[in-house]
Structure 1
Amino acid sequence: MKDNISTLLDYLWHHYESWISAAELSQLLHVSTRQIRKYISILNEEHVEEPLVISTNKGYKLSSTEQYLRYRESGKHNLETPQTRQNLIIQKLISSKNGIDIFDLAQELYVSESTVDNDIRSIRKMISAYQIGIRKEKDVLFIDGSEKEKRQLMSRLITSDSYDNFVLKDEVRLLTYHYHFWDFRKNLSDIFSRNNLFANDYTLNNTALHLIVMIDRIRSSCILHEQVDLTPFFETPQYTVAREIREYIEEAYAIQINDAELYNLTLIIMNNTTMIDYSFINGSNISSFIEQRYIDIAHTVIHNVEECYLLDPFDEEFIAKFTIHVKNLFNRVEHNYYAKNPLTAKIKSTYPLIYDIAVYIAQQFKDMYDIILNEDEIAFISFHIGSYFENNVQSKNKLTVLFLYADYYSLHQNTLEKISRRFEDKVTIKYAMSIHSYQPSLLHADLIISTVETPFPQPSIIIHPFLIEKDMNQLENTITKMLAEKNKNKLKEFLFDLFDPRLFYTNMNMDRTRLIQTLCNDAIRLDYADASFTTDVFAREHMSSTAFEDAAVPHSLASNAKKSFISVVLCPQGMEWGTHEVHIVTLLGVHDDSRKLFAQIFDHLIEILSEPSFLNELVTCQDYDSFIQKLTHYMDAVDV
């Protein structure tokens, strides 16, 4: 995040005289516009009298050169974030055999001893999923745990710290020695190819990462020593490849790989490669390559997704790709191995609905097949769901259009086809007719596009009979603006019907578990939900935290809301929600008759609740009426 903020600031400085839109910055940094607003909020936190970056409906720009130069001179942009500092502390603890003196650590990090103590408390929560502990003897810190657990933790840290979008940076950080990742990765890929093993970019990255961690630990004299039986692997192609990789590593890095390390290496290869080139598999031939069991599982789960979220049917090509994923996933689970996903946090925060559908699928696997997935595996499922939404234009909210023309040898047809192609994901041509057949009282659409200039009783655009670029630009701007307004009005109409003053709370001094229990009990008592609602809300929370940025949105994935509702809890002082601190909690109950609409607006709801400057205002509300007033004012003022 620090690199993104610095890049954003430099970009504004180089375009000092211009207003830069959130969309332009979003494209520059490959993040959502919501994340851009959060970056701006962080930059302005310590500039109360005059913000460092000012914003209007035109976009963003630096407030003054003086402010910018003072900020640069202060060096604040170079400070490590708590997360980066804590990652570094873990890396030092794992690498040290004799422990680390807390005072030396504080001095090296340019922080106080109390800050290090606070970091250690946060680290203990962060590593709670691993069989690893941190102990303190006098003023020296030690990390305890098995070598395997330490390696898993190192892989996790490297994944979060060194991945840049879809690939690892060339020099992998957080290791004792330096490694040229791309050279190492290419050598692995060549060995796989020679032996007819296939791996996609993600699994090849994961394999390379695990092996680099293994090499680094062996070079640091931290070696696996357990007794293993290699005989079940002897006839497998993965074992043959593992031995070839062992020879390459031993020669390149002057180390010895024992049987325990070779056993682990073989498992890594088994879980990240396949003998089948999946690029040739499609909906018509999948049964020749994949067992029927996995095909049936994929069909069952996707059918349940369609029913739950009221989505248009998934095509056979999607299900073929998803079936391949299911087979590989089950294989990883069988070997107690999970792939790392570098984009988990970004997917969760940027595409809440897609991620939520992936969580629903993970819950299906748990309930029907007793398979428990972590957030990385859920994020991989999100890739598949995201491709569905990207390709399925019917799932998008559109404007309806009435196209009017002067009928002359059907010359309008070419114009209509161009508009339909250009805006197929944004408009539906509801009517197309001659201006002489137009009856305003009988025909209604969101927008009229006409080649004939005449007054109309509803929003309209007049274009030339033969489209020019100016027409296309006018259509693009108007359609985009109207679509945003339509989404906003739909969201407002839906949202405000869900609030109830009896389900509005402030300053609830309790932990996450007690809060969810209390909110569910009240909703059930007021006949908003069935008795099973509480259990299902906790089940969803257990699958993956429902914290999105500064907001938590607990909800059930089952159909047990008697009517749709939203409970609201304002937390001005912040509330611990897993590894996040949130300032607003909204418990959602969605009845079946609202499920399709809710699926369309879920992302917009998360975006509103995660907007930093608005949330800072919202959490100061002391009562229900002021909350509704502030929310109404905000939604009237911005596009969603």
Structure 2
Amino acid sequence: MLTLRIETILRELVAVSTPITGSYLATLNRVTSRTIREDIKTLDLSLVSNGAYIDSIMGQGYKLRITDEQLFRNYLKRVSGDESTVEKGIPKLPEERVTYLIKRFLLSERYIKLDDLADEMYVSKSTIQNDLVQVKNKLSLYDIRLEARPNYGLKVNADELKLRFCMAEYIFERREGKAKQLFGSHFSLLSQSELDSLLEIIVSQINFHRITVSDIAINNLVIHMAIAYKRIKDGYHINLYKTDLDEIVEQKEYQVASEIVRKVEEQFQVEFPQEETAYIALHLLGTKILLQMNATNKIIKEVVEEDISKIVGKMLDKIESKLNLGVCEDKELIIALSLHLKPAVNRYKYGMNVRNPMLEDIKKNYPLAFEAGVIAGAMINEHLGIEVDENEIGYLALHLGAAIERRKSKIGPKKCLIVCASGLGTAQLIYYKLKNQFGEGLELVGTTEYYKLRQYNLLDIDFIVSSIPIQEQLPVPVIVVNAILGDSDIRKIEEFIVHTNHKFNAFFQEELMFLTKSFESQEETLEFLYTTLLEKGLVDQTFLDAIYEREKVAPTSFGNLVAIPHPITPNSDKTFLAVCTLAKPIMWNDKPVQFICLLSVKKNSQEDLQGMYDLLGEIIHDSSIVEKLIKVKTYEAFMKVLSKEKA
């Protein structure tokens, strides 16, 4: 059995190809290096008989070595399943204790004393009291509060519907597309075979009625059915307003829900009131999708209301104006967002929560798409008056990320124009040298003399190779080379082609780099950066408020000790990055952070910032880069790490 902390260490080792130091793992898990050494020993003992081991490399750290690929893959499947969940043991980390406490309160019919909880978890009463601050905050997101009664303890007080949504979030693990209950002495609802029976009933009815829903949606429906069954047996029922009930009963989904409920009543010997059937119908209304991505416009119009299409159009216009991604005309994206938004509106209308099991991976691997999702969520709020949470933003980001990748795949080779003053012979020599060197990786649109340059539409060209210096400002970059191309000239051109937009030197400026600072909190760090930028005239007095407004939508801590705070809307006169690394990590919402990269994009920017976003994405994703960057003490050393890693 692996603890959550050891699972975290294993995930980090699997994710990178370079060694990871004990100090980095200690920082990530908020424990001492000595504790990490003990965890590494425990993990290594578990791995040696499962196709892998941990190599301790002097002066570099720990590296995972795989000796049997298949054996190790099977081990990972077991570890990522139900067998290793920490709930079987005693929670150790603060996050584990908070989750444990929430489960205890959600499933308890009685008041629970803090002394009893302290005894259960082998911690002090004061530790439990500290954890309760987080517990209350998390429960308040569902409008659930803890009711205290002297000499009795604490008990949840909540609307039944909100209570069930919260139970769905905390009582079940959603891994590998199958609902798995987190068993333990306090957390048992149904047996796995009963959960499988529910799944079979739901899938058969959905197939019979030809409703198409995603695997995640079916999984969620199984979970909500299991909770409904348990709550009904315990004597608790959903109450819906009559107007809501009447509206739901008229939907086709209500008939499907009725069939599902009838089968469940037969098999489980329980009676569902009409409101409970409507509750199941709500989940179908909130998950219905259409899979034909090549559907005709006529089909789309039948499925998607005009007001949804308008919101999607405004959403993409706003994303384009802020991020300049070039995806607003992507028909596949327009269809995907429209079809996603229709059931999403049903979820919002009835206050249903939707959990996104891929959220952390989306934030870490597709930060630009997630940012586009934040903008899309703001437009939904503006037009429908609905607050969109991180989980939903994550789903929007998936569609947007796919469009970004599609655009990348369609972009052909770079287009280059050759300018030469030495005559056609030299120009042709450069032309054929480049053609021979780069082949299909470079499209050579032609050669010209300098005085004829104005005849070309330079907006269709990515860069110019010129054998003479060009003083005037042109809308495309100019690479000056010798008339007889040498190796250094080839390298300059190659650098441009391979690392298009990879001009991170222009974004990381020495005067905006603050290394190994000793700030104690997110607030202190942001206040320092804001004050410094204000003094330099780079931002105005609304900047800090705009940063916090963005943090409210979704924290900008992306994992791997990295946070990329930025204003909710571009509001500076130039694009820049300000970097701050910390001597010790701070908590940024619920994640430890030691590398802060404050990003500000120019108002109404038409810059192509894809290269900068790609670079930030690579930093977020690669813990070995982060580990090196938080150790350096000078700008030169920082840039050396970046240039070496990105070479």
TM-score computed with the length of structure 1 as normaliser? 0.71
C-alpha distance in 1, partners of 2:637/2:18? 28
C-alpha distance in 2, partners of 1:560/1:279? 37
CA RMSD of aligned residues (A): 4.8
Offset of 1:385 from its aligned partner? 0.9
Is the 2:539–2:572 contact (alpha carbons within 8 Å) kept by the matching residues of 1? yes
User: 2:346 maps to which residue?
Assistant: 331
Equivalent of 2:164 in 135, 147, 151: 151
Name the aligned partner's letter for residue 523 of structure 1. Answer: L
C-alpha distance in 2, partners of 1:485/1:204? 44
SS at match of 2:594: strand
Is the 1:344–1:376 contact (alpha carbons within 8 Å) kept by the matching residues of 2? yes
Matches within 5 A, 1:238-637: 238-273=253-288, 278=292, 281-283=295-297, 285-313=299-327, 314-393=329-408, 427-430=441-444, 456=487, 486=499, 490-497=502-509, 499-500=511-512, 506-508=517-519, 512=523, 516=526, 519-520=529-530, 522-549=532-559, 550-591=561-602, 596-605=607-616, 607-608=618-619, 626-637=633-644
**Counterparts in 2 of 1:395 and 1:142: CA distance versus 1, 3 Å:** farther
Is the 2:111–2:153 contact (alpha carbons within 8 Å) kept by the matching residues of 1? yes
Offset of 1:92 from its aligned partner? 1.6
Offset of 1:47 from its aligned partner? 7.1
C-alpha distance in 2, partners of 1:111/1:22? 35
**Counterparts in 2 of 1:57 and 1:610: CA distance versus 1, 3 Å:** same
**Counterparts in 2 of 1:172 and 1:531: CA distance versus 1, 3 Å:** same
Name the aligned partner's letter for residue 329 of structure 1. Answer: A
Is the 1:564–1:590 contact (alpha carbons within 8 Å) kept by the matching residues of 2? yes
Matches within 5 A, 1:201-212: 201-212=215-226
1:600-621 alpha-carbon deviations (Å, 9 max, x no partner): 3235335536766765676678
Offset of 1:376 from its aligned partner? 0.9
Offset of 1:53 from its aligned partner? 4.6
SS at match of 1:392: helix
Offset of 1:575 from its aligned partner? 3.4
Offset of 1:350 from its aligned partner? 2.4
SS at match of 2:502: helix
Matches within 5 A, 1:123-134: 123-134=135-146
**Counterparts in 2 of 1:170 and 1:151: CA distance versus 1, 3 Å:** closer
Offset of 1:96 from its aligned partner? 1.3
Equivalent of 2:33 in 45, 61, 74: 45
**Counterparts in 2 of 1:84 and 1:419: CA distance versus 1, 3 Å:** farther
Offset of 1:398 from its aligned partner? 7.6
C-alpha distance in 2, partners of 1:296/1:285? 17
Is the 1:574–1:582 contact (alpha carbons within 8 Å) kept by the matching residues of 2? yes
User: 1:176 maps to which residue?
Assistant: 189
SS at match of 1:162: strand
**Counterparts in 2 of 1:111 and 1:49: CA distance versus 1, 3 Å:** closer
Offset of 1:183 from its aligned partner? 3.9
User: 2:175 maps to which residue?
Assistant: 164
**Counterparts in 2 of 1:613 and 1:138: CA distance versus 1, 3 Å:** farther
User: 1:122 maps to which residue?
Assistant: 134
C-alpha distance in 2, partners of 1:201/1:123? 30
Is the 2:324–2:608 contact (alpha carbons within 8 Å) kept by the matching residues of 1? no
Name the aligned partner's letter for residue 490 of structure 1. Answer: H
Is the 1:568–1:585 contact (alpha carbons within 8 Å) kept by the matching residues of 2? yes
SS at match of 1:100: coil
C-alpha distance in 1, partners of 2:241/2:346? 23
Offset of 1:530 from its aligned partner? 4.3
Is the 1:228–1:260 contact (alpha carbons within 8 Å) kept by the matching residues of 2? no
**Counterparts in 2 of 1:419 and 1:629: CA distance versus 1, 3 Å:** closer
Structure 1, 257-266 or 519-528: larger mean CA deviation: 519-528
- Pair 1:22-2:48 in alignment: no
Is the 1:175–1:216 contact (alpha carbons within 8 Å) kept by the matching residues of 2? no
Q: How many percent of aligned residue pairs carry the same amino acid?
A: 19
**Counterparts in 2 of 1:445 and 1:140: CA distance versus 1, 3 Å:** same
Unaligned runs of 5+ in 1: 13-19, 26-32, 64-74, 403-411, 421-426, 434-439, 447-453, 461-478
Is the 1:283–1:316 contact (alpha carbons within 8 Å) kept by the matching residues of 2? no
1:228-248 alpha-carbon deviations (Å, 9 max, x no partner): 464444443222222222212
Offset of 1:518 from its aligned partner? 6.2
Is the 2:577–2:598 contact (alpha carbons within 8 Å) kept by the matching residues of 1? yes
Structure 1, 255-264 or 206-215: larger mean CA deviation: 255-264
Name the aligned partner's letter for residue 98 of structure 2. Answer: Q
C-alpha distance in 2, partners of 1:87/1:185? 26
C-alpha distance in 2, partners of 1:144/1:606? 42
Offset of 1:373 from its aligned partner? 0.5
C-alpha distance in 1, partners of 2:444/2:90? 56
Unaligned runs of 5+ in 2: 41-53, 67-83, 418-431, 448-464, 469-476, 480-484
Offset of 1:485 from its aligned partner? 8.1
1:382-437 alpha-carbon deviations (Å, 9 max, x no partner): 110121122222587988899xxxxxxxxx9xx99x986xxxxxx5555899xxxx
1:322-372 alpha-carbon deviations (Å, 9 max, x no partner): 221222223332333342211112211222111111111112222344332
User: Aligned residue pairs: how many?
Assistant: 552
Structure 1, 595-604 or 255-264: larger mean CA deviation: 595-604
Is the 1:99–1:140 contact (alpha carbons within 8 Å) kept by the matching residues of 2? yes
Name the aligned partner's letter for residue 16 of structure 2. Answer: A
C-alpha distance in 2, partners of 1:126/1:253? 33
Offset of 1:500 from its aligned partner? 2.9
Is the 1:399–1:483 contact (alpha carbons within 8 Å) kept by the matching residues of 2? no
C-alpha distance in 1, partners of 2:9/2:498? 28
Is the 1:87–1:157 contact (alpha carbons within 8 Å) kept by the matching residues of 2? yes
Name the aligned partner's letter for residue 557 of structure 2. Answer: A
Is the 1:309–1:599 contact (alpha carbons within 8 Å) kept by the matching residues of 2? no
Offset of 1:280 from its aligned partner? 6.1
SS at match of 2:509: coil
User: 1:15 maps to which residue?
Assistant: none
Matches within 5 A, 1:25-104: 45-46=33-34, 53-54=55-56, 60-61=63-64, 80=91, 82=93, 83-104=95-116
C-alpha distance in 1, partners of 2:630/2:466? 46
Name the aligned partner's letter for residue 635 of structure 1. Answer: L
Name the aligned partner's letter for residue 274 of structure 2. Answer: D
Name the aligned partner's letter for residue 578 of structure 1. Answer: N
C-alpha distance in 2, partners of 1:267/1:612? 42
User: 1:466 maps to which residue?
Assistant: none
Name the aligned partner's letter for residue 173 of structure 2. Answer: S
Structure 1, 183-192 or 587-596: larger mean CA deviation: 587-596
Offset of 1:378 from its aligned partner? 0.4
